[in-house]
Amino acid sequence: MRILVLTALLSLAGSFQPATPLRRPALRALLEVTDEYGFVDEAATLQANRDRTGFPIPPDDLIARAKEVIVKKQNLQDPSVFDDSIYADDFRFVAPFVGGATSTTGEKIGFTKQEFLASLRSFDLLKAFPNLNNRYHAFRVDVFEPNRVWFQTRAKATHTGELMGAAPTGTSLELPPEALSMTFNREGQVELFTVGYVIDRTAGNTGGLGGAFGYFWGTGNPLPFPECQPFKGSIQLRLLGALQKLLPKD
């Protein structure tokens, strides 16, 4: 009986998927050195992939470059000072719900360099949160993609300035931990910047929301989209959860 119910549930879940099979992009050949338990020898794997790609920037220098980009970005609001050459001409910016629908066929998605800069200049978060501290940490080079630096934030801030027309609330926010990455070209320019990927939505006081969405929701100014609200799940997913509770107990 239990197997039949589980089969029905899986069939129900499948009914909400696209009917047409999706074409998947070919995976890049990534080298790895692992032991019998699946633990990666990080130093050996990183070196193997550096040799494979011929990427010229050493890991420590690449991390320093990522930090330099973060510092230089502080001048973004002043075009007369800001050096936009830190971003490659073919730069892309991607966040969980920003930059277009997820590609299933390998096409590039995300904001272009011009769209990214214009978007940030139209929305200065520091005016609303002058004491914003992103608390950047955990910088490391991806052992599979030696031109990519991963890092994390656990931002905190107090709403003491106007937020897109909304009056200050004095609310102190702590956002959940988020994963970010910068992928560089051989000249040391950022060609892909990913942000806002929440690692633990149970942490902080912004409803599990990261990025700009967390600041809006946490100050009582939520944007009117499901993606900008604390996660509840689709009706289909909640129905599936309710049906699972009806399964007979062993």
Between CA 22 and CA 183 the distance in angstroms is: 27
- 30-52 pLDDT, tens per residue? 777 788 888 999 999 999 999 99
> Range with the lowest mean pLDDT among 23-27, 74-78, 92-96?
23-27
Residue 181 has pLDDT above 90, yes or no: yes
> Please, what is the average pLDDT of the chain?
86
User: Looking at this protein, which amino acid is placed at residue 221?
Assistant: N
Q: Which helix (H) or strand (E) holds 61?
A: helix 59-72
Within 15-41, residue ranges assigned H as helices are none
Sign of CA dihedral 109, 124, 196, 72: positive
| Long-range contacts of the stretch 158-163 (C-beta < 8 A, 24+) | 158/129, 158/131, 159/128, 159/129, 159/215, 159/218, 159/219, 160/128, 160/129, 160/130, 160/131, 161/127, 161/128, 161/129, 161/130, 162/127, 162/128, 163/128, 163/215, 163/216, 163/219, 163/221
Q: Alpha carbon of 209 to those of 88, 97, 231, 244: distances in Å?
A: 29, 11, 8, 27
- Of 65 and 18, more confident: 65
Contact status, residue 69 vs residue 163, Cβ threshold 8 Å: no
0.85 exceeded by pTM = no
- Of 174 and 1, more confident: 174
Average pLDDT over residues 210-234: 91
Average pLDDT over residues 89-103: 90
Give me 135's structure tokens.
């608390």
